[in-house]
Structure 1
Amino acid sequence: MSAKFSDHAKGLALTAFGGLTLTVDIPLIRLANGDHWSILFMRTGTTLIAALVIWAIWRFFSPKAPQLIPGRAGLAVAALYGLGSIVFITAVYNTSTANLVFILAFNTMFAALLSWVFLKERPRPATLIAMLFMVFGVLIIVGDSVGTGQMFGNVMALLSTLCIAGAITITRASGKDMGFTSLVGVVFPFAVAVLMVSKTGVNVAAPWWIILNGAVVMPIAFFCLANGPKYISGPEVAMFYLLETILAPVWIWMIFAEAPSRNSMIGGTILIVTLVVHSLWQLRDGRRRRAALAVRHPA
């Protein structure tokens, strides 16, 4: 039983570090100041190179290096992360940062729904109530963009969230190490970006920011987050994506003085409060269950 709890603690620490690292992703994309396809080309290209170099070094020193793509489940996870990368960058350029990160917070609810449908991990009533509040919050944010150019970006943000939740669910179901799978999955968006920039050329004003993002930030963040489902549940992993929801708008406000709209703030506040309350409830419930198990099975 202690080994199980140790694995859970390891999963929490791993995903927390990955989620914290991910919070600088959007600010670095904005600082690079390039067009949609050029940013995607450089971000995915540097991520792919970094992942392959790290994997080759690991493989050289240890025969136990994880597979790049472990079977069919790995292919599905790679495809979802690849598609998610394309729609995420599309969302960055078609909606506000606040809208984007608030909508990405819906990841935890998508993960809970997919786990319920495909893994038969039925959410508890408190989780279902939290889902309803989150749907309400997202509707406020999306409703604010009806009739504006941001609706398309908001839809792309929702699709990105669904892709990530799907990848988390498949990883959880397979129990396999998908740390590198999430990184080499960028080969698909990289190929698409290569095709597009071959026609328009690469246009990035400050490429060093996006190189830092792709070569350092993304490998660390997604390796940690993609390995999380080995140790903790899908909804728990998705919770750590919320660090980006909370901190990315702060970085954007500090760097670019970009303030969110009133409806974005209202909807985002509903999302964050709901998720914080739900997370605290999960932690309290988890401690209560562990205490009950300890009494039932004394050492």
Structure 2
Amino acid sequence: MFASSSNHAKGFALTALGGLTLTVDIPLIRLAGGDHWTILLLRSSTTLAVTLLIWLAWRWLRGNAPPLVPGRSGLAVALFYGLGSISFITAVFHTSTANLVFILVFNTMFAALLSWLVLGERPRTATLIAMVLMTGGVLVIVSDSIGTGQLFGDLMALASSLFLASAITVSRASGKDMGFTALVAVLLPFVLAVVMVQKTGFQVEAPWWIILNGGVIMPIAFFCLATGPKYISGPEVAMFYLLETVLAPVWVWMIFAEIPSRNSLIGGAILVVTLIVHSLWQLNQVAREIGRSNSLRFPAPLS
């Protein structure tokens, strides 16, 4: 019992650290003040370099480092993460921070839908209701961007959400360790950025911010968020992803005085509240199933 509680606390601590670290991702990208292809180049190259150094050190010290890209499923996961990174950076430069982080929350519903279509895991009625409500929230946010020039950025955010959900679904279907795959997937955006920077030129005002982001923030955030599910449930992990949704717009407001629009706040509130209620419902279902299982294994003594 003590070991189980200790592991659960460890999972909470790791995932909380990962979620909090991720909240500064967008502010650091904005602080760098560069062209989005240059930002993508610096962010992906530093992340790739640090990931390879960690993997080589692991292999040298312990000799049992997991494969960087485990087979065909690993290639598919790397492709989805790579496309997700490209669409994410594009969205940062073409829509508001609030719109971006609110729409990214929709990846949980994309994941549930893909699990139904690909893995045959039919969602329960409560999840279907949550999908409808969250779709409504996204439509409220996107409707506010029509005619403002932000619609393209919103669609890129939605695409990034879909790519992330696809990567998660393939990872679950394969059952393989994809911890490093999510990080080396930046090879695709790196190559694309190299090609584009040769055409547009290297444009960045404060490169140290994006180097800090790619070399420190991203490896820490992804490592912690990828390790957390080993100790705590999926719904609990999803709750910590909400830290970026809540805090990133706050940091951007404090630094850049960027105030979310009314529709963005309304749609975001629908998304966040729906996800919180749905996650709490999932946790309750898991607790009830564990209690039912324990009662079957250790029936009450006859009086």
Query: Which residue of 2 is the match for residue 178 of structure 1?
Result: 178
Query: Which residue of 2 is the match for residue 21 of structure 1?
Result: 21
Distance in 2, matches of 1:228 and 1:131, equals: 25
Instruction: Please say if residues 179 and 223 of structure 2, whose CA atoms lie closer than 8 Å, have aligned partners that are also in contact.
Output: yes
Query: Which residue of 1 is the match for residue 96 of structure 2?
Result: 96
Given the alignment of the two structures, is residue 153 of structure 1 paired with residue 153 of structure 2, yes or no?
yes
**Which secondary structure does the structure 2 equivalent of 1:241 belong to?**
helix
Deviation at 1:49, TM superposition (A): 0.3
Query: Which residue of 2 is the match for residue 270 of structure 1?
Result: 270
Deviation at 1:183, TM superposition (A): 0.7
Q: Deviations over 1:30-86 (max 9, x none)?
A: 111111101000000100000001111011001111111111111011111111111
Distance in 1, matches of 2:8 and 2:110, equals: 21
Q: Count the aligned residue pairs.
A: 299
Distance in 1, matches of 2:130 and 2:255, equals: 32
Q: Deviations over 1:245-297 (max 9, x none)?
A: 11111111121111100000110011111111111111122212211111111
Of the structure 1 ranges 12-21 and 176-185, higher mean CA displacement relative to structure 2 is found in: 12-21
Query: Which residue of 1 is the match for residue 114 of structure 2?
Result: 114
Query: Which residue of 1 is the match for residue 166 of structure 2?
Result: 166
Query: Which residue of 2 is the match for residue 196 of structure 1?
Result: 196
What are the equivalent positions in structure 2 for 1:20-99 lying under 5 Å apart?
A: 20-99=20-99
Given the alignment of the two structures, is residue 208 of structure 1 paired with residue 224 of structure 2, yes or no?
no
Distance in 2, matches of 1:292 and 1:19, equals: 32
Distance in 2, matches of 1:68 and 1:46, equals: 17
Distance in 2, matches of 1:116 and 1:4, equals: 31
Instruction: Please say if residues 239 and 276 of structure 2, whose CA atoms lie closer than 8 Å, have aligned partners that are also in contact.
Output: no
Unaligned runs of 5+ in 2: none
Q: 1:98 to 1:11 in 2, by over 3 A?
A: same
Distance in 1, matches of 2:182 and 2:65, equals: 15
Deviation at 1:227, TM superposition (A): 4.9
Structure 2 residue identity aligned to 1:289: E
Query: Which residue of 1 is the match for residue 288 of structure 2?
Result: 288
Please identify the structure whose Cα radius of gyration is greater: 2
Distance in 2, matches of 1:176 and 1:239, equals: 24
Query: Which residue of 1 is the match for residue 139 of structure 2?
Result: 139
Deviation at 1:177, TM superposition (A): 1.2
Deviation at 1:20, TM superposition (A): 2.5
Structure 2 residue identity aligned to 1:156: M
Q: 1:79 to 1:137 in 2, by over 3 A?
A: same
Deviation at 1:220, TM superposition (A): 1.7
Instruction: Please say if residues 91 and 100 of structure 2, whose CA atoms lie closer than 8 Å, have aligned partners that are also in contact.
Output: yes
Structure 2 residue identity aligned to 1:74: G
Instruction: Please say if residues 235 and 280 of structure 2, whose CA atoms lie closer than 8 Å, have aligned partners that are also in contact.
Output: no
Of the structure 1 ranges 12-21 and 27-36, higher mean CA displacement relative to structure 2 is found in: 12-21
Of the structure 1 ranges 280-289 and 229-238, higher mean CA displacement relative to structure 2 is found in: 229-238
Distance in 2, matches of 1:105 and 1:77, equals: 19
Structure 2 residue identity aligned to 1:43: R
TM-score scaled by length of structure 1: 0.92
Instruction: Please say if residues 112 and 235 of structure 1, whose CA atoms lie closer than 8 Å, have aligned partners that are also in contact.
Output: no
Of the structure 1 ranges 273-282 and 103-112, higher mean CA displacement relative to structure 2 is found in: 273-282
Instruction: Please say if residues 95 and 153 of structure 1, whose CA atoms lie closer than 8 Å, have aligned partners that are also in contact.
Output: yes
Distance in 2, matches of 1:30 and 1:127, equals: 35
Q: 1:135 to 1:116 in 2, by over 3 A?
A: same
Instruction: Please say if residues 68 and 184 of structure 2, whose CA atoms lie closer than 8 Å, have aligned partners that are also in contact.
Output: yes
**Which secondary structure does the structure 2 equivalent of 1:271 belong to?**
helix
TM-score scaled by length of structure 2: 0.91
Instruction: Please say if residues 116 and 123 of structure 2, whose CA atoms lie closer than 8 Å, have aligned partners that are also in contact.
Output: yes
Q: Deviations over 1:220-263 (max 9, x none)?
A: 22233345666777676555432211111111112111110000
Instruction: Please say if residues 236 and 283 of structure 2, whose CA atoms lie closer than 8 Å, have aligned partners that are also in contact.
Output: no
User: Cα RMSD over matched residues?
Assistant: 2.3
Instruction: Please say if residues 183 and 223 of structure 1, whose CA atoms lie closer than 8 Å, have aligned partners that are also in contact.
Output: no
Unaligned runs of 5+ in 1: none
Structure 2 residue identity aligned to 1:176: K
